[in-house]
Structure 1
């Protein structure tokens, strides 16, 4: 029996490296792996379905997986996950010192379905008393003008969103045309030390550690999506892919814990990895459904509240049935 040939596209992740280069194999599968910038993968997979399996923004995935006629399915494989309290950039002249000060302000993000912004808008709305209609929202490219929304959205009642085509968020923030930007990649004005631009939470790590200890949520930014017809024609593919992604990630984590040689060109990596293991558990970067349930459930709620997901679903609704079947020997 010939192996199934699949095309895969992601950006460059160490935890996918051994699968991508063939040191780890998915049983019964041969892959042709395109390694591209994640924005290119998102745009091309969302618009054209150019690969069988692809990395996808979690927020954009939720818009697509909840369509009435859905042609993709998710795998509980996490490409990228980051806390995002560091992603608030403010103009000093706006008088913003706390999240509550954002009420009545102008806040920009690169897209409405921008995972980092979805998490932080949800936090503001559900935990901080700054409701979605309390803000004048803006959408523009992060550091270049002309970025557009990749998926359809249905804004909640009372939410005002202004799209700006001829300026970037960095430009708008620097001149005070918006008061705050929620953005995954630091805006150029911040990197260039513009005197009027600063992080709202410069000491964000303790805040993020407290948040995780309290909620069990470690925000997921990008996951793996697969075209539904692949699963329909080959029901075994999803679990075999998950097994390979898990083994590749296990090897990546093991490299980080190796104190014998400098696997990565930074000091104290193994010691830091042990500290993270104490905080996050034996597997500090878990894949799977139950291992990440609070995070899956939070994003499913936030995307529905914000008019990105078309319906409020459960984690079991977005992944293949039976993908987490226990195998005990």
Structure 2
């Protein structure tokens, strides 16, 4: 059978590098790999123009479009996942020194109310500290450069939620540094923090012990993005879902094995001091497959995210895990 031509759009992570360099191939397909400068650009190209046959997509973008109609279905492949206690930043002059001080504040969020990182941060703060997002005023805009809220995806939110777009010409980074917003929920570290601004700090400065304790108690490693495939392709090629899953898993395993082998040489292939100790700690706590794909290993994380999405008014229904992923891989 002649290989079919497919385009895969995703970010270049270590977990996808083997797909980009061709050392892992998708069986029965002639694949063109594509990426973008930013993840929102990648999502927009998928949503506006169905530019890719297979692509990375943020979970909240997928769930919003699942309700309105989307010609793609998700596979349990998760190329982007990050613990999120570290993603809440505060202006130090606003008197916010613990999570209880967030109530009634003005909080910024990049591009959309309910970014994947924000869904997790709000949900964890709600579960652990009683945070209620609807008690705050939210400002949506560009992180480093002025930008309006995303216009390529629906914006569901609770009716009582108070929000506004950032002022024209204002970025969330500059607003946080100036104290024009009290806090920022951000998937990226804002430039003012990287520049060492004395005006801004993390809500949880020593976040790693908190995130490790969170994992120890919940076994949840927060998931941001999934991989989606065109529905018509899955219908035309019954084995495609399994083949895509296998290829992404093989690519991820190439990366994991690189780090596992590197333990013998103290990870000298990197320039990060004590990387070997970090890898050892991660394997000790998270196991040899610390970045699992599939439903079984991620069911708790996925179900928690779906609960948060509903509780935060971003879904009209409480989705179940089996509702949102390709049936062919529900037993993965």
What TM-score bracket applies, with the shorter chain setting the length? over 0.9
* Partners of 1:109 and 1:32 in 2: CA distance: 33
Aligned to 2:32, what secondary structure does the other structure show? strand
Cα RMSD after superposing both structures: 1.7
How many Å apart are 1:309 and its aligned residue? 2.8
How many Å apart are 1:35 and its aligned residue? 2.7
1:208 equivalent to 2:211? Answer yes
Deviates more, 1:297-306 or 1:146-155: 146-155
Q: Aligned residue for 1:120?
A: 121
Q: Aligned residue for 1:301?
A: 307
| Unmatched runs of 5 consecutive residues or more in structure 2 | none
Q: Aligned residue for 1:251?
A: 254
Change over 3 Å in CA distance of 1:11–1:306 after alignment to 2 = same
- For normalisation by structure 2, the TM-score amounts to 0.92
Structure 1 residues 228-270: Cα deviation after superposition (integer angstroms, max 9, x where no partner):
2211222210111101111111111111112247333334434
Output aligned runs, 1:235-314, within 5 Å: 235-258=238-261, 259-260=264-265, 262-314=268-320
* Partners of 2:76 and 2:41 in 1: CA distance: 21
Q: Aligned residue for 2:133?
A: 132
- For normalisation by structure 1, the TM-score amounts to 0.93
* Partners of 2:325 and 2:206 in 1: CA distance: 36
Change over 3 Å in CA distance of 1:199–1:233 after alignment to 2 = same
Change over 3 Å in CA distance of 1:324–1:301 after alignment to 2 = closer
* Partners of 1:212 and 1:293 in 2: CA distance: 14
Q: Aligned residue for 2:237?
A: 234
Aligned to 2:224, what secondary structure does the other structure show? strand
Aligned to 1:113, what secondary structure does the other structure show? coil
Which of 180, 185, 194 is the matching residue for 1:191?
A: 194
Q: Aligned residue for 2:153?
A: 151
**2:122–2:133 Cα contact (<8 Å) kept:** yes
Aligned to 1:263, what secondary structure does the other structure show? coil
Aligned to 1:162, what secondary structure does the other structure show? strand
* Partners of 1:322 and 1:9 in 2: CA distance: 22
* Partners of 2:277 and 2:97 in 1: CA distance: 34
| Unmatched runs of 5 consecutive residues or more in structure 1 | none
Deviates more, 1:228-237 or 1:253-262: 253-262
**1:58–1:223 Cα contact (<8 Å) kept:** yes
Q: Aligned residue for 1:217?
A: 220
**2:220–2:301 Cα contact (<8 Å) kept:** yes
Aligned to 2:329, what secondary structure does the other structure show? coil
Number of positions where the alignment pairs a residue of Structure 1 with one of Structure 2: 325
Aligned to 2:9, what secondary structure does the other structure show? strand
Q: Aligned residue for 1:77?
A: 77
Structure 1 residues 289-315: Cα deviation after superposition (integer angstroms, max 9, x where no partner):
110111111111112222323422111
* Partners of 1:151 and 1:125 in 2: CA distance: 25
Q: Aligned residue for 1:55?
A: 56
Deviates more, 1:311-320 or 1:300-309: 300-309
* Partners of 2:55 and 2:186 in 1: CA distance: 23
